[in-house]
Amino acid sequence: MLARLQKTITLTLLAMAFGWLVYFHNSAPALAVIGFLLIAFGYAVFLALEFIFLSFINQSDPAPQATWQELLRAWAGEVVTAPLVFCWRQPFRANVIADNLAPDTVTKGQRGIVFVHGFFCNRGFWTPWLERLQGQGHAFVAVNLEPIFGSIDDYAPQIEIAVQQVTRATGMPPLLVCHSMGGLAARAWLKINRSEARVHHVVTIGTPHRGTWLARFGHGHNGQQMRLQSDWQAQLDHAMPADRHRLFTCWYSNSDNMVFPASTATLPGADNRLVRGAAHVQMAFLPQVMDSALALLEPHPSRCWYP
């Protein structure tokens, strides 16, 4: 459903941009170019507003403050990365790489991985990760969390199915790699199923573990659950095992334009790793994040850290 929606949005914007350009190119060439750029790249202005908001909100946060150079670098990175994800991979290439569970492509005894995307995303988000895993013998499943605006608790059964599939294929508890809201979905799955022993490790990337300031503008069920210090988040850790957060590596950024204040993307007792100058979507595709996460698939991983 999301792929169809994003495909419609992308094609409509392209039609509007080129239609404007064609309509005015003879009578008002300057207006034609300006209108085309505003339609095609107007999202960059909204991204800039998010970075302005985060720079003010993060001033009272204990995480290291971002310099203007880091914010500018993060904005430029997101301007490039966001359309690749939301206008290409998710709408047009969501199923270009299928889940890998077949016995002839999975090496028994080699750990598998479950990918859990974030808000307003689908499995196409993980395409660069899936491309990297192809041919290596690792089982993997990238879930599609639906309904798009439903409760995060309702995503737990979908994660449960994926975990069962990968465990059956490999005989081992899988690694979970989650972006943004996907990390909250993984925590909901852990709480509902008491599944600590059934997962090897959980990597979260830009997950609003304690909510995000921007969620005040979200009106869907999951948007309300991601508001700062929501009651739903407080219940996630209720009566949890004392060592649950030790299962987590939490990547966060002082330039995350969706999850701020920055320290809300961390968990007490987890392996919290700061990336400076990386935006929300961009962070999921940084080599140091991908390398460190995929190293956890190895029998004796060296949890490499990149400054």
CA distance 181 to 152: 8
Q: Is the pLDDT of residue 40 over 50?
A: yes
Q: What is the pLDDT of residues 4-31, one digit of tens each?
A: 999 999 999 999 999 999 999 999 999 9
Which superfamily does CATH assign the domain made up of 113-295 to? Alpha/Beta hydrolase fold, catalytic domain (3.40.50.1820)
In 85-220, which residue ranges form alpha helices assigned H by DSSP? 90-92, 127-133, 156-170, 181-193
For residue 59, is pLDDT > 60? yes
Per DSSP, the three-state class of 34 is helix
Q: CB-side exposure of 124: number of CA atoms within 13 Å?
A: 24
Phi, psi of 223 (to 5 degrees): -65, -40
H/E stretch holding 90: helix 90-92
The per-residue pLDDT for range 194-215, each reduced to its tens digit, is 989 999 999 999 999 999 999 9
Rounded Cα–Cα distance for residues 215 and 221 (Å): 11
- Residue 240 has a pLDDT of 87
pLDDT of residue 219: 83
Q: What is the pTM assigned to this prediction?
A: 0.95
pLDDT at residue 280 tops 90: yes
Give the pLDDT score at 299. Answer: 83
Say yes or no to pLDDT of 278 above 80: yes
